[in-house]
Chains A and B, each alone.
Chain A
Amino acid sequence: MYPIISLSVTGLLTLFLGFSENKKIVFPASIAFLLIALATAFIDWNAPGFYFNDMLQVNNTSIVFWAILIISAILIMGFSEGFERFEFAQPAEYFAIVQFSLVGAIMMVSFKNLIMLFLGIEILSVAMYVLTGADKRNIRGNEAALKYFLMGAFATGILLFGMAMFYGATGTFNIGSGVFIGGDNSFFLWIGCTFMLIGMLFKVAAAPFHLWTPDVYEGAPTIFTAYMSTIVKTAGFVALFKVLSTTFSGLQDFWWIMIAVLVTLSLMIGNIGAVSQNSFKRLMAYSSISHAGFMLLALLGDHENALGSIMFYSVVYTLATISAFGVLMVVSKERIEKGRVYEQNDLFKGLAQNNGFLATVLIIAMLSLAGIPLTGGFWGKFFVFRDAASSGLFWVIIMAVLMSAIAIYYYFKPVLLSMSKKTSLESITINPLAKFIFAITTFGTIVLGIFPWILRSLF
């Protein structure tokens, strides 16, 4: 609960810092604020309880997720050092929005009441609409922002309709007790369940509600693409899990087959769509759709393991994604074409020769995303498959394994390009902070690949 308060206050403070003459202070201050929020998260450690009229539930599980979200935000924001150089940027405002959006994400992982879920989703989404359009002069950014906004608002409408129907059926917004089909209100409940799930599946980019993902990922500034694909996704999946494992656990027969079909669709569309992409960000967008499929797979298993699997998967996915987008940010700023940074795959041509460190980071990130053993990504997939196998969903697992094979093809495209002899780049400058972040993400990926249990055994 404390990080919500802390981030709200520090977000406002950050806005005021924007008035100061010295713009350089905003970045370190924001990182410090995020660290403070991280520290306050642990005040409630081992002190589970309910807050805000029982609308928010805090326990160690939710604190772990808070920490994951805040640390991811810190790692991503670390790449924005020197942001004030860009003319489009109003650093104070973006850092403030990032902090506010984290409030939303935190609410999404610890809600106990659908009102809180709605507020969390909206706080996070509205913030993301703004951040997507952060580059005001860039028409592609504008387009992405408008698409994201219109479709997001539409999905919100559907989500709300579902919540209203759920309320009509049960008379409560609390998700504490399970609900069951039967009686007069079962029709409302069915509609409510379906619409709520659709609204949330949109946020995590599961097919067929994924269509916004590639366009928005490509158009948004890279740093916010990274933010979107890690924090929004993690929060979204935890929220989905919370809803499915509590209130809707009695309706399992009803949503189970729907999710299974969506998993298959997401895996197919994500992996097959990524094959022909030349833009690295689009490739990552399709990959993110397929990873949504994998994480949904965990929801189909028994609930004992699912949360741990989702946690592990989101951590390894987050680490690899931050590495990948980080390398893209660092490298692409060296090559400006038509006034825009160049973000195609062949940007990485000859990276290994040019800068071995960045190439290593990129390669390990790609291996992890592809799920090659000795990286965290392998265990992420392993746990998810294990969960799914426990519920006997073998046809989906076979599909998933086939699609992982396809995934290797497109994840290896940047890897192979980076190995090639010819290079189109001159020397690349990396600031020390970025180097530090790369070290953390890459090391984390490897450590989790060798000792997955240090994280997986948390819960």
Chain B
Amino acid sequence: MENQLPAMPDVIAQVPLNNYVLLASILFIIGIAGVLIRRNAIIMLMSIELMLNAVNLLLVAFSSYRSDPNGQIFVFFIMAVAAAEVAVGLAIIVMIYRNIRSIDISLLDKLRG
């Protein structure tokens, strides 16, 4: 990881770093809002993916501005892990669908107290 990225292209530098951060934060908050508002398990899953992608964007932006490849490598890890997570998540959702013929999480509140 010692090798440095080539110098940052001007086209990226035209937008200040703060704007990337702001965009990523807004995406992240949209993701959170999605998880909070929706009751459909798949949509919630998608919202979580949105949160992760916001993080990816943030990492890439930082990585470029710092000319450091580590952040972009991390993004690959996140993508791979997210894929595994989605696979497991979908499997769980399918399992539930088989049992109760629905994927509305508001139906799942038998465990409480």
Contact = CB atoms under 8 A, between A and B. Distances in A.
Direct contact of A and B (CB under 8 A): yes
Interface of A: 53, 114-115, 118-119, 122, 126, 129-130, 133, 136-137, 139-140, 142-147, 149-150, 153-154, 156-158, 160-161, 163-165, 167-168, 171-173, 188, 214-215, 218-219, 277, 282
Contacts of B37: none
B62 to A, nearest CB: 4
Contact of A126 (B44, B74, B88): B88
A122 B81 contact: yes
- List the 8 closest pairs (A to B, CB-CB), nearest first: A157-B51, A215-B111, A168-B62, A164-B58, A143-B108, A160-B55, A153-B48, A122-B81
A209 to B, nearest CB: 14
A143 B45 CA distance: 15
A342 to B, nearest CB: 16
A119 B113 contact: no
B74 A150 contact: no
A188 B18 CA distance: 11
A145 B97 CA distance: 13
A161 B51 contact: yes
Interface in B74-113: 74, 77-78, 81, 84-85, 88-89, 91-93, 95-96, 99-100, 105, 108-113
Contacts of B44: 150
Contact of B88 (A129, A137, A140, A147): A129
Interface string B47-70: 010011011001100110010101
B59 A164 contact: yes
Given A149-B88, A188-B21, 18 more contacts: A114-B74, A118-B74, A119-B77, A140-B111, A142-B92, A142-B95, A143-B96, A149-B89, A154-B35, A156-B52, A156-B85, A158-B51, A160-B52, A160-B55, A161-B54, A161-B55, A163-B74, A215-B111
B85 A146 contact: no
Nearest to B55: A160
**Interface residues of B, dominant DSSP:** helix
B70 A172 contact: yes
Interface of B: 1, 21, 24, 28, 31-32, 35, 41, 44-45, 48, 51-52, 54-55, 58-59, 62-63, 66, 68, 70-71, 73-74, 77-78, 81, 84-85, 88-89, 91-93, 95-96, 99-100, 105, 108-113
A40 to B, nearest CB: 25
Contacts of A154: 32, 35, 48, 51
Contacts of A143: 96, 108-111
Contacts of B70: 115, 167, 172-173
B48 A157 contact: yes
A172 B63 CA distance: 10
Nearest to A162: B55
A53 B95 contact: no
A88 B33 CA distance: 36
Given A133-B92, A160-B78, A282 B110 contact: no
B66 A165 contact: no
A171 B55 CA distance: 15
Given A129-B88, A143-B111, A150-B48, A136 B95 contact: yes
Contact of B62 (A119, A122, A167, A282): A167
B32 to A, nearest CB: 8
A144 B28 CA distance: 26
Nearest to B28: A161
Contacts of B71: 164, 167
Nearest to B35: A154
26 contacts: A115-B70, A119-B81, A126-B84, A129-B88, A130-B91, A133-B92, A142-B95, A143-B108, A143-B109, A144-B111, A145-B92, A146-B108, A150-B45, A150-B105, A153-B48, A154-B32, A154-B51, A157-B52, A158-B51, A161-B55, A164-B62, A164-B71, A165-B58, A167-B70, A168-B21, A215-B112
B50 to A, nearest CB: 9
The residue among A53, A122, A277 with the most chain B CB atoms within 10 A of its own CB is A122
A115 B95 contact: no
A136 B28 CA distance: 33
Given A146-B96, A161-B28, A115 B74 contact: yes
Contacts of A126: 81, 84-85, 88
A146 B92 contact: yes
The residue among A118, A130, A153 with the most chain B CB atoms within 10 A of its own CB is A153
